[in-house]
Every structure is written in structure tokens, then in C-alpha cells.
Amino acid sequence: MLRILCKSKITNAFITDKIQHHSGSIGVDKAILEDADLLPGEQVQVLNMDNGERFETYVIEEKERSGKIVLYGPAVRKGEIGDELVILSYCLLETKECHNQKQRLVSLAKNNQCKSK
């Protein structure tokens, strides 16, 4: 049996920009992606702590150490600059593999810089 487990979790991420006329997704600083073990194009679930919105999209890589968290396309309607986000990714694992799965947690500090893993 396959189970869905949380693979990566980014907390304390704040929206820095919004670009409406784009095909859509969420841009994330490359350093944050690496710390969270996320790949460009990987599906994520985004939770907005300020308005309760939840949506699924995919990741676009932003410049490393830029601190950028950017909503693109239709996602711009899901938050405002300054809103706090939690970004989650999941993996499918066989039940026996689940016990060894370690969730990657990245908590961001001021200006969306990596604080802890």
C-alpha cells in the first residue's frame, strides 16, 4: 500500500512579489528550495496564514539568496505582499518506507533567509 507523507515544510515564508500576467505558480529562492529538498516544477501545497487560502501549484526557482517568494498568475489572488505562507510538499511511500521518512523542515528568518532545517 502507498501512503502520502509530508516530505518538506517551509514555514515563516512571506510573499515578496506578485506578478499576475504569468502562466502561474510560486517562485521560491533557490537556497530555500535546496534546503527544503524541492525541485523546480515540483508540486507544492501553499497555505496562507493570513487569509486561510490553500492552493496547489508548482515551484519556480528564484535567484539564490534573493529572499523572493513570488505569487504568479492566478495564484496572485490567493495572497498579498507580506502575507505569511507555509509551503508543503508530499511523497508517496510504501508503508514499510514510511517509518524511515524524515520530514525536511525549513523555518525562515527575517527577509525569507534560511534559519533552520
Active site (annotated) includes residue 8: no
Pair 82, 39: CB distance under 8 Å: no
Q: How far apart are CA 97 and CA 109, in angstroms?
A: 32
Q: Which of 8, 23, 58, 90 is catalytic?
A: 58
Backbone angles phi, psi at 36, to 5 degrees: -90, 0
Active site (annotated) includes residue 58: yes
Q: How far apart are CA 4 and CA 117, in angstroms?
A: 21
SS3 67: coil
Q: Which of 25, 66, 72, 89 is catalytic?
A: 25
What residues are labeled active site? Answer: 25, 58
